């Protein structure tokens, strides 16, 4: 059982990190938006692809977190450290493979996904993607190292490093976008620099002796087929789930691109606000993986259930707070963008709508299933999330945006229907016992 002090030490830095990252994300987006709608639209299109990779690396690292946290709960530090080395190796190899594949294919890929967008938007997207793809290995290494720290219960250090990297990113944007006039290229270079620094600092910390999970000699990173298979078995379903989720969002984004530049820019702002609003609650789900994983490793499933209920409740309270905050702040935030008056009105109305729906549905749809994953029940969330994404979010968006006059509202009607289906099915699963019939350490 975790003490209240231990839970606060885990959750408060996680939430603080997500809040800081969200605020920096807002600042980043609106700094780019002042260059013009073409720049922010190009960056938004590429960020849809980049988020696909970010969530893939995060899910892969979460597989390592589940295994390491269960080993720690099982009091097996040696195997926890061995798994940590293999997570880092796998993350680096996959990120290098993605970088090598995407660099020569970026322009055809953008054209395939988003179709015939305006030339200025495509030029901004191309240069932004060129630089950000180079940052993938550094993003993967930071993500894996931060996840391993959290598996050991240390969320303070990733918070500090992430906050410093976000500040560096904002400073880089200010210099490169405004002082140097580099536009989308300046935003990409600032992102690359911040990811290099954050990866280097996290790896240096993790190499120090005395860590609960520490990185040792170079030969420890040599691939171990048995451990890699174990990590992939747990991490791959979550990676596929997140990959399908982000790919579905790409399809949604491609649909939005048919609605015109104003809709693309408005969607970019709304999506940024939505991401920021759920980040603190998402941090609670990240903490639940560590806590429930260690409970399962100690053979305490009833404690895991209790923490699933309490963490979902905490996420609900956070959604209430962020919903009120971001909805009230929309008129102020949009003053610093280059959006047209029609775009501002669209952002304001849709943000109020999704803030109200999020409070009711989001915690059960996204926080609760992390408790299932922590026990090794990764296939069920993958199937539910993937099917719900495509059958409701993507299909409804495509139909409503293309064949009805609702415009951008169609995206968010589909979005909220997806939340409803996920929440209902995950609640049913958590009430039963099938999610406990897994042994990820076997």
Which residues, 6 or more positions from 243, have their beta carbon under 8 angstroms from its beta carbon?
52, 55, 56, 59
pLDDT at 22: 64
pLDDT tens per residue across span 92-125: 999 999 999 988 888 887 777 666 667 777 777 7
CB 82 within 8 A of CB 67: no
Q: What CA–CA distance (Å, rounded) separates 290 from 283?
A: 11
Low-confidence ranges of the chain (pLDDT < 50): none
CB 331 within 8 A of CB 374: no
pLDDT at 169: 86
pLDDT at 29: 64
pLDDT at 315: 95
- In terms of Cβ atoms closer than 10 Å to its own Cβ (0-12, 13-18, 19+), residue 303 is middle
pLDDT at 26: 62
pLDDT tens per residue across span 273-309: 888 888 889 889 989 998 998 889 888 899 999 999 9
């Amino acid at each position: 059982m975790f003490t209240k002090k231990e839970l606060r030490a885990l959750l408060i830095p996680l939430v603080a990190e997500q809040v800081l990252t969200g605020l920096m994300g807002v600042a980043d987006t609106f700094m780019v938006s002042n260059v013009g709608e073409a720049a922010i639209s190009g960056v938004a299109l590429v960020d849809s692809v980049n988020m696909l990779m970010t969530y893939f690396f995060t899910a892969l690292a979460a597989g390592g977190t589940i295994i390491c946290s269960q080993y720690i709960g099982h009091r097996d530090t040696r195997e926890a450290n061995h798994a940590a080395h293999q997570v880092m190796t796998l993350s680096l190899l996959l990120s290098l493979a993605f970088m090598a594949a995407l660099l020569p294919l970026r322009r055809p890929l953008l054209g395939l996904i988003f179709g015939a967008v305006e030339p200025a938007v495509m030029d901004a997207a191309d240069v932004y993607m060129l630089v950000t793809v180079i940052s993938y290995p550094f993003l993967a290494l930071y993500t894996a190292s931060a996840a391993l720290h959290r598996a050991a219960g240390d969320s303070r250090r990733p918070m500090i490093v992430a906050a410093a990297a976000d500040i560096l990113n904002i400073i880089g944007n200010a210099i490169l976008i405004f002082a140097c006039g580099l536009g989308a290229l300046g935003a990409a270079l600032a992102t690359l620099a911040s990811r290099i620094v954050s990866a280097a600092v996290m790896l240096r910390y993790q190499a120090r002796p005395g860590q609960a999970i520490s990185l040792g000699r170079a030969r420890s990173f040599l691939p171990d087929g048995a451990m890699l298979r174990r990590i992939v078995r747990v991490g791959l379903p979550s990676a596929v789930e997140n990959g399908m989720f982000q790919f579905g969002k790409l399809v949604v984004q491609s649909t939005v691109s048919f609605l015109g530049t104003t809709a693309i820019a408005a969607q970019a702002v709304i999506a940024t606000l939505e991401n920021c609003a759920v980040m603190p609650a998402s941090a609670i789900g990240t903490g639940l993986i560590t806590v429930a994983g260690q409970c399962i490793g100690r053979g305490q499933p009833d404690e895991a259930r209790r923490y699933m209920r309490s963490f979902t409740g905490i996420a609900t309270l956070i959604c209430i707070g962020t919903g009120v905050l971001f909805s009230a702040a929309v008129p102020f935030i949009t003053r610093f963008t280059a959006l047209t008056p029609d775009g501002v009105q669209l952002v304001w109305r849709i943000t109020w709508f999704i803030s109200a729906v999020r409070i009711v549905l989001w915690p059960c749809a996204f926080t609760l299933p992390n408790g299932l994953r922590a026990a090794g029940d990764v296939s069920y969330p993958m199937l539910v999330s993937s099917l719900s994404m495509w059958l409701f979010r993507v299909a409804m968006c495509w139909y409503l945006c293309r064949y009805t006059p609702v415009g951008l509202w169609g995206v968010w009607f589909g979005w909220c229907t997806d939340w409803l289906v996920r929440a209902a099915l995950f609640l049913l699963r958590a009430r039963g016992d099938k999610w406990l019939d897994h042994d990820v350490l076997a």
